[in-house]
Amino acid sequence: MELVKFISMETAPDVTRMRLIGGDLALDFINTRSGPPLGVPVDDVLTGYAELVAWCVHTGALDEIAASRATRLARKDPAAAAEVFAQALRLRDDLDAIFRALATARQPSGKALSRLRDDEADALAHARLERRDSFEWSWRDDRTLGRVLRPVAHAATQLLIGGELDRIKVCGGCRFIFADESKNRSRRWCSMEDCGTAEKVRRYVAARRLRTSD
């Protein structure tokens, strides 16, 4: 099996056309898999390290310079890139388990939380504090293959520590997770254009069938 697949940013349409509806980098990372609300995912835009890099650029987690550097490193050491990609999939599984549990009023897995703690410790070990309006963590000087994962792990930890966890929801029409920022916390869909519209169509068809049968 090929260790790592390399593509240009222009040839990753499934990644770069993704709608970022999670409201947080960590939730958008979970949403790189799609499918019905219940059951296993049916599609995954992250198929290799190159797609992972493209996704990071798409979300703003990496700039083009850092992405080019990561791609060059991966070409030099495809086995190491494949290992980082495997770590990315494991991190995504952990984040999915943690935030899906919170969205359904369940207690997250202690093992998943412990692994995320370790991921955050590793992320901060590669970061430095930079002053902008205030101080914040930066991975600008991180020139390792794992650079692509640091902002995701940090975003997830920050959301758990300081986020409004009661706003975390699962879409009623698909498996996407999002932070409900509506004033009355009534959002049910990842987006009205997709799952919201599909539900309206389903209700219309069901109502029409009921009227026809009367």
Nearest-CA neighbor of 104 among 175, 33, 43?
175
Q: Using an 8 Å Cβ cutoff, are 65 and 72 in contact?
A: no
- Range list of β-strands (E), 81-185: 128-131, 135-138, 168-170, 177-179
| Residue 212 pLDDT | 56
Query: Both tokens of residue 3?
Result: 């260790």
**Which ranges of the chain have pLDDT less than 50?**
1-11, 196, 198-208, 210-211
Q: Using an 8 Å Cβ cutoff, are 70 and 148 in contact?
A: yes
- Sequence letter at residue 187: R
| Residue 12 pLDDT | 54
CATH architecture of 9-213: Orthogonal Bundle (1.10)
| Residue 5 pLDDT | 37
| Residue 2 pLDDT | 36
pTM of the model: 0.84
Q: How far apart are CA 140 and CA 137, in angstroms?
A: 9
Q: Where are the domains of the chain?
A: 9-213
| Residue 85 pLDDT | 98
| Residue 144 pLDDT | 96
